[in-house]
Structure 1
Amino acid sequence: MEEAMLSPDFWVARLPDTEPRMTPAQVRQFNQRAFAVDAHMHDLDQLPDSLSRERLLSLINTVSRPASSARYHAGSGERVSDRDYRRWSAMANLEAIKAYNPVRWGLAVSRSSMRSFPTAERVLKTPEDIHLDRFQETAVFPGERLAILHSSADGEWFFALNYHYAAWLPRNAVALGSRAEIAAWHAAEPRLVVTGDQVSTNFNPADQRSSEVPLEMGVSLPLLDPETTGFEVNGQNPYASYIVSLPLRTAGGSLEFGMALVARSRDVTFGYLPYQPDLLIQQAFKFLGERYGWGHDYNGRDCTGFIGEVYKSFGLLMPRNTSQQAEGEYAATLRFNAPDVEGVRAALTKLQAGDLIYLPGHVVMYLGAVDGEPYVIHDRTALAYLNEAGETYHGILSGVSVTPLTPLLTEDGAGFLASIHAIKRIALETGW
C-alpha cells in the first residue's frame, strides 16, 4: 500500500472513462427486475393486506431460530441454554399468530437495529468474540418503509419487513400510519438524498424528535417548498437549508410528518446520484476508516451494509446478505467452482471499478489494478496474508479499508483467490 492509494482521486485518475452506466430510467428497470427475480427482495407495493399463518411463521423462523453451534452471553460469557431459547421464543409470541394476520404499516423514525429475536441481549459465537453480536441482523434508517407483521409478547417489539429483510425491531423506532399515506410520502417528488456517510438534520429547540436526527447514505426525504411552508421553520430562516418532510412518532406511536432542515453545506443532493464510476469510487471512499459493525452495529456497517449503502446513493437496491447478493440473478454474474484460481485470475483482468467480488461470508469492491495487482475497498474485521518471508501474518482491520486482493487469506488460511465463487457487475445487462 502507498499513501496515495487512500485517496479516491488516485483511483478515479486511472479510470478509462467516467461515462454514466445507467440512466435513471434504467436504474428503475434494474430495481424492478431485482424485485421480480429475487426472493430476498420484497416489493412492498405488492404485499397483500394480510399474511397467512404459514407465510408469517416462515418469515419469523428464518431469523428466530436456535443457532446450530454454541452461543454465549455477552458479559457473563455463559453458554446460551435451551431455556434461553425457549424464553426468547416465548417473547416472539407465536401462539398469537392467527390463520390470517393483517399487515400494518409504518415508517422508521430513527436508526435502529433489526434483531433475530425480540430482545436487546447480546449473544456471541465465542466469549472472546465480543464485537460480533450474533442476534444483530441489520438496521433500518429514518424514512424506511416497513410492513409490520407481528408484535412480541410484551408489545415492545415489532416483527417487520422492509425492502430486503425481515426481523425484529423496537416499536419506539416506528411510527404507524395508513398504507396509503405512507406510500404517497414514499413516492413524493422531488427528494433530497443523503450522499455523505452520515448527515444530520438541524437542531430544533421546539421538537426533539426532528432535532439532529442522523441520516445515513442513501436515505431520501421529500423536499418541501418554502413558498408553501413559509420562511420560518423551527425558528430558523430556511433559505440556507433544505426543508424536508420527516416522519415523526407521536406519544401513542402514530405517524405524523414534521418539517426539518438540512443545511445546504451537508453532503446531500437533489435526487439520486448519476450512476457513473468516478462517483461510485468517491461514494465508497466516504466510508474509508469507519469502524466495522456487524449487521450495522457500532453505528457502522458490515461488508454488505457498506456495499448496499454505496449503491443506494445511486438508487440501486440489492439483497442484504453476502450469500443472497452472490447467489442472486438480478445482475450480471460470473460464477466459479472454488478453488478456481486460474479462472478467477483471468476474470480479474476484465473487471471495472465497482464490480463486486464474493467469497464465503465476504464481499469486496474492485477499484483497479496497479502493476498487475488488483486492489479493492471493503469492510472487514480480520486481516491475514503471506508476508515476503512466506509467513502468515495475522492482524485486524475492523473497518473500511483499501487493500491488495491476491495476498489476502481467509480466517481458515485459504487464499482469497481460491475462495472466490462469484463476481457481480451492477448493470442492466445480465451477461458479461
Structure 2
Amino acid sequence: MRAKKTVSYLAGFAAIFVLTACGESDQSIAALPNAVSTSVPATEYASDVPGITEAMLVPDFWLQRLSDDRVRMSNQQIREFNTANFASDPYLHRLDDFPQTLPKEEVVALIDKVSAPASSPRVFVDGREVSAADYADLEAAVQRDAIPQVVPVRWGVAVARASMRSYPTSERVLKHIEDQDLDRFQETGVFPGQRLVILHESANGNWWFALNYHYGAWIPKRAVALGDRDAINDWFQHVPRLTVTGAQVRTNFNPEDARTSEVVLDMGVSLPLLSAAEVGHNVHGQNPYASYIVSLPVRGEGGKLEFEPTLIGRGRDVSVGYLPYQPSVILQQAFKFLGERYGWGHDYNGRDCTGFVGEVYKSVGILMPRNSGQQGLSDFAPTRRFGPDDHAAREKALTELSVGDLIYIPGHVMMYIGDVDGEPYVIHDVTGLSYYRDDNTFYQGTLSGVSVTPLMPLQLTNEKRFIDGIYAIKSII
C-alpha cells in the first residue's frame, strides 16, 4: 500500500451521504428533495455533488493516478481464496458438498431468516398498512407445516434474471409510503447459470424456496429449471467459460427459440463455451463464426433443465475466462455501472451497494457474501476493524487505502478509487446526498445511483462525522 498525503478537512467540503441499507437492514431514510436548481446553459456541466468535476466521471482520470497496477492474485490464487472462504464463512453456501437431505428444523431456520413479520409497521404501495391478517396469509403461503421431517434436496439452475423475495409474493411492501424505491420484500437477485438448491414449495405451487451460493429466499418457478445434480455440476465446472464483463449484455436475437433470444446477462455471469466443431455452423439460423457459442440453461417441458447452444456476438463486452485481478481492471469494471439507477436488492433491473461491488469482483472470479453487514462482519478478506472511539486509527487507515478497497459503514459499502490532493474518493451505489454548503447551511439531495463522490470529511448526521461510522475496511489481496 502506498502512503498518501494527510487528509485535509475543508469545512465547506464536508459531505454526508444519507444511506439506506443494501438489502439486509431494516433502516430507512425518507427520500430527500433535490433542493438545488440552476439556470446554467444546457451545455455546461453542473452538479450538486461537492468536489466533483466532469473529468472525474471518466475512468482514465483515476487510471492515471495509479502508482501500482500489479496483478494482485492469479486465477489459481483466486480459486484458493474462494475455497477457503466457502469453507469458513457462515454467509456462503458450499453447494459442491451440500447434503442430499436436510432436517426440517434446518429448512425452517433458513426460511425464518427472511420470512418473518417486520418489527415495525409496513405499508403496501397504495398506503394500506400490512395487517396481521395480511401476514397470516403470507405465513399460510409459506406453509411450514407441509415441510417433511426429512427434506430431500432438489437441484436447479436459474434460467433468467429474477428476484429472490422475503415471502412467495411479488407484492411490493414499503416501510414508508414515500420510500417507493425500497421494496422491503425484495431480498436479492439471481442470474442465469446460478446453481440453486431447492428446499421447499409455496402453497400455490408458484414459488421455490432456494439457496444460491450466498443467499436463501423465495424465487418464482418460472425462473428456475430443475435438473440432475451431477449434470448441473458437470455443466457448472465445464471449461473454458465465457464471462460477462459489461454491465449487461444480451444473447443474440433468435427467432427460432425464444428461450435463448436476447437473454439479459449481468456482469459476472459465466457460461460454458462450445465450438462450431461441436454444434455445427448453423445455430438457430445464424452462422456462429462471428459469435461465441455458449451453453445456456433453459426450461424444457415441465420445467426440466435443458442446455441450449446460444450465440453472443464477439463485439459484446465479454471475456474468455475471468478478467485479470488488478487495480486498473477493477476501476474500469466499476465505472461501467456509473449512473445506473439504484436498485434495492437488485430491484429495478439494477443493483444496490453490495450488488454493485459483488458484480465488479465477480468479473475477476472473486465471490463474497451478499449483504453489506455480512461482508463487513465476516473475514472473507483481510480486514481492518474499528471501534466507536478509534478516530485516529480510522483517519490513518484512510491515508493508506489501495484502489479497490471496500469501506463499510452500517448498511453500506463503498469502493475506494483514488485521491485528489490528498482527499479520498469512492464509487458506490447510493441513494441520498447531504452536506454542508460553504455558508455552513445543510443541503439534502438525492443520488439514487452509482456515483463518484468524495469521502472526507463526511458526516453521518449534521452532528456526527461520516468517518466515525466506518467499522471495517477490506483489502482483497
2:420 equivalent to 1:370: yes
Residue 91 of structure 2 aligns with an amino acid whose one-letter code is H
301-310 vs 412-421, which moves further: 412-421
Residue 413 of structure 1 and its aligned partner are, at CA, apart by 5.9
Q: What is the alpha-carbon distance in structure 2 between the residues aligned to residue 413 and residue 33 of structure 1?
A: 41
2:174 equivalent to 1:124: yes
Query: Which structure 2 residue ranges, 5 or more long, are not aligned?
Result: 1-51
The equivalent of 1:382 in structure 2 is 432
Structure 1 residues 290, 413: CA separation in 2 closer, same or farther (over 3 Å shift)? Answer: farther
- Equivalent of 1:34, from 69, 76, 85? 85
Residue 409 of structure 1 and its aligned partner are, at CA, apart by 3.5
Residue 36 of structure 1 and its aligned partner are, at CA, apart by 1.3
Does the aligned pair in 1 maintain the 2:250–2:264 contact within 8 Å? yes
Cα-to-partner distance string for 1:165-213 (whole Å, 9 max, x where unaligned): 0000100100000000000000001000000000000001001000000
2:209 equivalent to 1:185: no
Secondary structure of 1:380's aligned partner: strand
Q: What is the alpha-carbon distance in structure 2 between the residues aligned to residue 14 and residue 339 of structure 1?
A: 32
Secondary structure of 2:249's aligned partner: strand
2:289 equivalent to 1:259: no
Aligned residues: 426
The equivalent of 1:323 in structure 2 is 373
2:165 equivalent to 1:115: yes
The equivalent of 1:430 in structure 2 is none
**Structure ranking higher on relative contact order (CA contacts 8 Å, 6+ apart):** 2
Secondary structure of 2:438's aligned partner: coil
Residue 298 of structure 1 and its aligned partner are, at CA, apart by 0.3
Structure 1 residues 232, 412: CA separation in 2 closer, same or farther (over 3 Å shift)? Answer: farther
Residue 415 of structure 1 and its aligned partner are, at CA, apart by 2.6
Structure 1 residues 123, 213: CA separation in 2 closer, same or farther (over 3 Å shift)? Answer: same
Q: Compute the TM-score of the two structures, normalised by the length of structure 2.
A: 0.88
Residue 385 of structure 1 and its aligned partner are, at CA, apart by 1.3
Query: Which structure 1 residue ranges, 5 or more long, are not aligned?
Result: 428-432
Q: What is the alpha-carbon distance in structure 2 between the residues aligned to residue 414 and residue 107 of structure 1?
A: 46
Residue 412 of structure 1 and its aligned partner are, at CA, apart by 7.5
Q: What is the alpha-carbon distance in structure 2 between the residues aligned to residue 296 and residue 383 of structure 1?
A: 21
Residue 42 of structure 1 aligns with an amino acid whose one-letter code is H
Does the aligned pair in 2 maintain the 1:71–1:123 contact within 8 Å? yes
Cα-to-partner distance string for 1:89-109 (whole Å, 9 max, x where unaligned): 110011111111001000000
The equivalent of 2:11 in structure 1 is none
The equivalent of 1:83 in structure 2 is 133
Q: What is the alpha-carbon distance in structure 2 between the residues aligned to residue 170 and residue 414 of structure 1?
A: 43
Does the aligned pair in 2 maintain the 1:386–1:408 contact within 8 Å? no
Structure 1 residues 150, 413: CA separation in 2 closer, same or farther (over 3 Å shift)? Answer: farther
The equivalent of 1:53 in structure 2 is 104
2:72 equivalent to 1:21: yes
Q: What is the alpha-carbon distance in structure 1 between the residues aligned to residue 239 and residue 172 of structure 2?
A: 40
Q: What is the alpha-carbon distance in structure 2 between the residues aligned to residue 130 and residue 411 of structure 1?
A: 23
Does the aligned pair in 2 maintain the 1:385–1:407 contact within 8 Å? no
Structure 1 residues 411, 127: CA separation in 2 closer, same or farther (over 3 Å shift)? Answer: farther
The equivalent of 2:113 in structure 1 is 62
Q: What is the alpha-carbon distance in structure 2 between the residues aligned to residue 188 and residue 413 of structure 1?
A: 54
The equivalent of 1:136 in structure 2 is 186
Structure 1 residues 72, 363: CA separation in 2 closer, same or farther (over 3 Å shift)? Answer: same
Secondary structure of 1:301's aligned partner: coil
- Equivalent of 1:270, from 320, 343, 349? 320
Residue 3 of structure 1 and its aligned partner are, at CA, apart by 1.2
The equivalent of 1:5 in structure 2 is 56
Residue 57 of structure 2 aligns with an amino acid whose one-letter code is L
Does the aligned pair in 2 maintain the 1:383–1:408 contact within 8 Å? no
Q: What is the alpha-carbon distance in structure 1 between the residues aligned to residue 343 and residue 91 of structure 2?
A: 22
Residue 339 of structure 1 and its aligned partner are, at CA, apart by 4.8
Q: What is the alpha-carbon distance in structure 2 between the residues aligned to residue 425 and residue 304 of structure 1?
A: 15
Secondary structure of 1:147's aligned partner: strand
2:95 equivalent to 1:44: yes
Paired residues for 1:400-419 under 5 Å = 400-410=450-460, 414-419=464-469
What is the CA RMSD across the aligned residues, in angstroms? 1.0
Q: What is the alpha-carbon distance in structure 1 between the residues aligned to residue 210 and residue 325 of structure 2?
A: 30
